[in-house]
């Protein structure tokens, strides 16, 4: 059942997401053509729309996921979603996997575009692209204080840490979106509508960011950036330099799991479709 | 009301409701309701607006869970198992706007094991609906017809139809009622809420009238006709009285 839910959630949300990616691609194509054929008036319009589109991609994806979640569960479509022979946790998990996937794609496009623009700008200035790779190795080398070329293990650990950080960031956004939209459909918040869901999301997002930042700095558990790459240290970021506090991330994981459970509880026990 | 000459076993009932109450804040829409629905009957659920009909149907379909009392469908609480055997048509369009009938058919075929895709395709053709027209461009009546086709193409044990004739023109009502009558599995139970009693009362085996959250009438249709009345006559009689005491 979960597989079928995921399939249909992908199909249902793809209509909006593919339009967004298509617009981003057209902006990119217009920009590329304007530079290739030196069409001056298109250069500004194309570049501006492309940069705005890509920079706003994660935000646009988040809003689309909010709307999709709200529409498929709490509008008239909810009458179908909630009468499917599926458990509410499967319905929630399916939407989480699909939302996570679209957000991950948007983040990858954003990162890829930023890297591409930097490399393009450097190439135009006559700087070697290979120099950037050397710079990256130097940066990892400096981070790990080992000097010289960092070991493959150190590079792998840094990349793994960055991926885990990215994974948790997206997970938290998805949990916040689902929790906020669901809460906005439960009394007494249900009078506020979709806009109320966005307000709750902003409030939840800000509170979690503030609390997790404080925990990150003061909780005595950190990733110590050492000569061997990364090591666990039972000291706070506040006490030792060259560390990255893990308390905030752990708190965010716990809160995300809590928000998923709370969402599932509200969905199965408290929601009264209008 | 049961036929008193017949002794019914527990298995004869598809739905058993005991002491069901439901409130929205201070507004109690169902008050200590106890009912049983026999298998294979066509049940008319009647009552004025806001009397608790839709809430009762939402509870039966698992859309409302915060109630007190006991509700059993085929012996189980509303949940995954009951949703497998209950085909539900709400009074609103529950299909996504981007969908076309062909998408809706795939959707139902994927989720409901009892869905007969070929039968649905034939009915779509019969109703002159296009497989490629987006739902958002259809009229309210066309949307209702499509939903009815999807629901009636399931070989369900229970059909829950909430105002299925509300959005269709008078000329189509009789035709749609025929579609319902001809297409539900014969051992299945149909529960239909409607305001258009005159158009559908010939279909009812059993009549349930709810007012102010209470069951006011629970009787077989032939008991009403044996008294020389129509269901509509009884409805007017009951609700004139009910509103007077309200």
Model pLDDT for residues B143-166, shown as the tens digit of each residue = 888 999 999 999 999 999 998 887
Cβ distance A83 to B84 less than 8 Å, yes or no, reads: no
What whole-number distance in Å separates Cα of residue A194 and Cα of residue A274? 14
Residues B136, B142, B146: CA angle, nearest 5 degrees:
90
* pLDDT tens, residue by residue, A230-274: 677 787 877 777 777 888 889 999 999 999 999 999 988 887 777
pLDDT of residue B179: 82
Residues A206, A209, A212: CA angle, nearest 5 degrees:
145
Residues B91, B131, B124: CA angle, nearest 5 degrees:
60
Helix segments in B94-196, DSSP class H: 101-111, 117-126, 140-152, 170-183
Cβ distance A78 to B94 less than 8 Å, yes or no, reads: yes
Choose which CATH entry (3.30.1360.10, 3.40.50.620, 3.40.50.300, 3.30.1330.10) describes domain B10-245: 3.40.50.300
Q: Which two tokens stand for residue B184?
A: 């539900």
Place of tokens 């916040």: A176
pLDDT of residue B4: 45
CA distance B56 to chain A (A): 13
Query: Is B140 in a helix, a strand, or coil?
Result: helix
What whole-number distance in Å separates Cα of residue B162 and Cα of residue B52? 12
Given pLDDT bands bounded at 50, 70 and 90, which one contains residue B9?
low
Task: Kindly tell me the burial class for residue B11, based on how many C-beta atoms sit within 10 Å of its own C-beta (0-12, 13-18, 19 or more).
Answer: exposed
Range from A205-214, B172-181, B192-201, B236-245 carrying the lowest mean pLDDT: B236-245
Q: Enter the ipTM.
A: 0.86
* pLDDT tens, residue by residue, B26-59: 888 899 999 999 999 999 999 888 788 889 999 9
Q: What is the mean pLDDT of chain A?
A: 84
Contacts of A242 (CB under 8 A, 6+ apart): A143, A145, A224, A225
For A84, the closest of B64, B83, B90 (CB atoms) is B83
CA distance B4 to chain A (A): 35
Given pLDDT bands bounded at 50, 70 and 90, which one contains residue B199?
confident
CA distance B129 to chain A (A): 21
Please tell me what DSSP assigns to residue A234: S
Contacts of A243 (CB under 8 A, 6+ apart): A222, A223, A224, A225, A233, A235, A237
Q: Is the pLDDT of residue A208 over 90?
A: yes
Given pLDDT bands bounded at 50, 70 and 90, which one contains residue A143?
low
Cβ distance B112 to A85 less than 8 Å, yes or no, reads: yes
Asked if B170 is an interface residue toward chain A (Cβ–Cβ < 8 A), one would say: no
| Of A165 and B158, the one with more pLDDT | B158
Q: Is the pLDDT of residue B92 over 60?
A: yes
């Amino acid at each position: 059942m979960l597989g079928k839910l995921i399939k249909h959630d992908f199909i249902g949300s793809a209509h909006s997401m593919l339009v967004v990616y298509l617009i981003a691609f057209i902006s990119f194509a217009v920009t590329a053509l304007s530079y290739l054929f030196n069409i001056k008036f298109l250069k500004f319009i194309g570049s501006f729309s492309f940069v705005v589109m890509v920079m706003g991609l994660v935000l646009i994806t988040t809003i689309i996921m909010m709307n999709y979640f709200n529409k498929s569960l709490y509008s008239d479509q909810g009458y179908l979603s909630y009468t499917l022979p599926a458990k509410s946790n499967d319905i929630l998990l399916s939407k989480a996997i699909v939302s996570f996937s679209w957000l991950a794609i948007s983040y990858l496009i954003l990162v890829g575009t930023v890297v591409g623009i930097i490399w393009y700008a450097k190439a135009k200035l006559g700087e070697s692209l290979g120099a950037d790779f050397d710079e990256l190795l130097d940066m990892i080398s400096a981070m790990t204080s080992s000097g010289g070329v960092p070991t493959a293990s150190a590079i792998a650990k840094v990349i793994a840490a960055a991926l885990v950080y990215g994974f948790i960031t997206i997970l938290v956004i998805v949990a916040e979106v689902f929790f906020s939209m669901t809460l906005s459909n439960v009394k007494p918040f249900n009078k506020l509508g979709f806009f109320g869901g966005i307000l709750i999301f902003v409030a939840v997002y800000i509170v979690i960011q503030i609390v997790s930042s404080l925990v990150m700095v003061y909780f005595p558990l950190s990733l110590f950036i050492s000569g061997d790459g990364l090591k666990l240290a039972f000291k706070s970021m506040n006490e030792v330099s060259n560390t990255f506090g893990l308390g905030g991330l752990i708190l965010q994981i716990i809160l995300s799991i809590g928000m998923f459970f709370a969402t599932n509880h509200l969905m199965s026990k408290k929601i009264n479709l209008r | 009301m049961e036929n008193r000459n017949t002794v019914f076993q527990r298995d004869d009932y598809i739905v058993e409701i005991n002491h069901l109450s439901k409130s929205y804040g201070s507004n109690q829409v169902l008050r200590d309701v106890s009912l049983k629905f026999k298998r294979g009957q066509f049940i008319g659920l009647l009552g004025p607006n806001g009397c608790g009909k839709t809430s009762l149907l939402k509870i039966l379909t698992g859309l409302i869970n915060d109630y007190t009392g006991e509700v059993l469908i085929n012996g189980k609480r509303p949940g995954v198992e009951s949703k497998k055997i209950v085909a539900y048509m709400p009074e609103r369009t529950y299909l996504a706007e981007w969908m076309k009938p062909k998408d809706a058919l795939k959707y139902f075929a994927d989720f409901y094991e009892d869905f007969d895709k070929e039968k649905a395709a034939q009915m779509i053709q019969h109703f002159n609906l296009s497989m490629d027209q987006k739902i958002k461009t259809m009229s309210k009546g066309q949307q209702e017809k499509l939903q009815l086709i999807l629901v009636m193409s399931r070989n369900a044990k229970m059909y829950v139809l909430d105002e299925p004739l509300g959005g269709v023109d008078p000329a189509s009502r009789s035709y749609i009622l025929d579609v319902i009558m001809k297409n539900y599995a014969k051992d299945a139970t149909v529960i239909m809420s409607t305001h258009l009693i005159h158009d559908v009362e010939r279909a009812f085996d059993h009549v349930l009238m709810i007012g102010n959250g209470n069951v006011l009438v629970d009787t077989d249709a032939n008991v009403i006709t044996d008294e020389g009345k129509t269901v509509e006559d009884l409805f007017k009689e009951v609700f004139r009285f009910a509103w007077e005491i309200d």
